[in-house]
Amino acid sequence: MPFTRWMIRCAALVAAVLTLSGCPSSLIAPPPAAEHPVGPEQATAPAGGARAGQAGAGAEAAAAGVQVAPHIALLLPITGRTSSAAANVRDGFLTAYYQAPPAGRLRVRIYDTGVLSVAEALSRASGSGAELIVGPLTREEVIAAAQYASARPPLLALNFLPPETPPPPRFYQYALSPEDEARLVARRIIADHHRRGIALVPAGEWGARVLSAFRQELESDGGQLIATATFDPSRTDYSEAVTQTLGISESQARYHRLEGVVGTKLQFEPRRRGDIGFIFCPAPANTERLLRPQLRFHFAGDIPTYATSSAFEPDVRANQDLDGLMFPDMPWMLGGDLPEAVRAATRDAWPNNSGLQRSRLFAFGFDAYRLAVALSHARGDVNIDGLTGRLSFDPERRIRRELNWAQLHDGELRALPDASP
């Protein structure tokens, strides 16, 4: 097995072993090959100690005789209910680490927020010489990190704070946000010269957030939602929501009223309303494959239909029912112009790849390392053509992702050109 892929798998194994043995954090990517993984409390600081100007906690630790080692701290819930997602992010992060030239690699330590509280992980990372913190991962952890009041180095959170929560200083945010994708879809719809349309979303908190973001962006650009409905994704029949938004229910009601007036059976074919310019129907892929045929059955197969990336899985047979669906997604999923060494490393290291979740979160971790390197070089004007999109920071220090567009035809992907302004 090539050295890079061997090191990635060894690093992941070391992290797992140290977690199981009770070590709350581990040095898994030391720059000299002769060094061995150790806990941060045992790490030996390289010559020169901590970089001048980093968080005060590291300087205080050094003054107290605690050894510090400059490093990137990666805060992930390696154990617990989100351990699978965290492992995928970690694997992508380490792949990017080993793809970087050895001379430019930054030492990496993982702090397990499944064992440590966020406050304790931040304190240990800062006190052990972290020059940059990447993480934590979940929304709840990121909120806790924003509330951390002690000195710390710059932090790249791997999720977004709620809109009403202002970020503290030196707090950057990077996420695979379905709300941001919904805003991209709204802008694409307007650019495609559609103004009036309908939305069907899964019932629940995810659907509500996505619909709210879509509606806000659409209306700010002069568009209008003329009907919306939610459906229960745990069921397989969404006809009630579909006929409601398409106006078919009203057509049927008019037919029954007319039949009652004339007192005789009439020939009738229900019709959808004629002023629908687009359909927005974000949903997980297994749900989308049920929803799209039902839209066609109810006379809406010819209406331009848009979704978010959650609707897509790279499986030609499974995508046959999604014919015509348009959506944005990251280059990693759409098979764009990506480093072949990265794809080869993932294919060989995980021949039985578990699929969608590993793919997207792996790419997320890969780009998180590249963003960390850019931030460590004090480059505030970050512009990266990443696996997860074209990445840059907005004025609020949140990563803005520009994605590629695709449409499904007979289960196959077709790239869509950028929309005309």
Strand-pair category, 196-202 with 224-231: parallel
Helices and strands (H, E) in the chain, number of each type: 13, 16
Q: Does the pLDDT value for residue 309 go beyond 90?
A: yes
Q: Rounded CA gap, 11 and 295, in Å?
A: 48
Cα–Cα distances in angstroms (integers) from residue 416 to residues 192, 218, 295, in the given order: 12, 20, 22
Residue 353 pLDDT grade (very low, low, confident, very high; cuts 50, 70, 90): low
| Contact criterion met (CB below 8 Å) for 105 and 94 | no
Cα–Cα distances in angstroms (integers) from residue 340 to residues 3, 29, 336, 360, 379, in the given order: 16, 23, 11, 17, 27
| Contact criterion met (CB below 8 Å) for 325 and 307 | yes
- Please state the pTM of the whole predicted model: 0.83
Q: Which domains does the chain have, with CATH numbers?
A: 3-176+336-402 (3.40.50.2300), 179-329 (3.40.50.2300)
The SS3 of residue 177 is coil
Q: Does the pLDDT value for residue 299 go beyond 80?
A: yes
Cα–Cα distances in angstroms (integers) from residue 249 to residues 246, 266, 270, 288, in the given order: 8, 17, 8, 22
Q: For tokens 């197969």, what's the residue?
A: 301
Q: Is 122 left (phi over 0), alpha (psi -120 to 50) or beta?
A: alpha
| Contact criterion met (CB below 8 Å) for 49 and 68 | yes
pLDDT at position 27: 42
pLDDT tens digits for range 369-410: 999 999 988 766 789 999 999 999 999 999 999 999 999 999
Cα angle 176, 289, 241 (rounded to 5 degrees) comes to 95
pLDDT at position 273: 85
Residue 46 pLDDT grade (very low, low, confident, very high; cuts 50, 70, 90): very low
Q: Does the pLDDT value for residue 337 go beyond 60?
A: yes
pLDDT tens digits for range 166-223: 999 999 999 999 999 999 999 999 999 999 999 999 999 999 999 999 999 999 999 9
Q: Which of these, 255, 323, 313, lies nearest to 292 by C-alpha position?
A: 323
Q: Rounded CA gap, 235 and 311, in Å?
A: 17
Task: Count CA atoms within 13 Å of residue 51 on its CB side.
Answer: 14
Residue type, 371: L
pLDDT tens digits for range 124-149: 999 999 999 999 999 999 999 999 99
Q: Rounded CA gap, 397 and 204, in Å?
A: 29
Measure the CA dihedral 288/292/232/140, to 10°.
30
Q: Which of these, 347, 284, 306, 152, lies nearest to 214 by C-alpha position?
A: 306
Beta carbons within 8 Å of 207's beta carbon, 6+ residues apart = 201, 230, 282
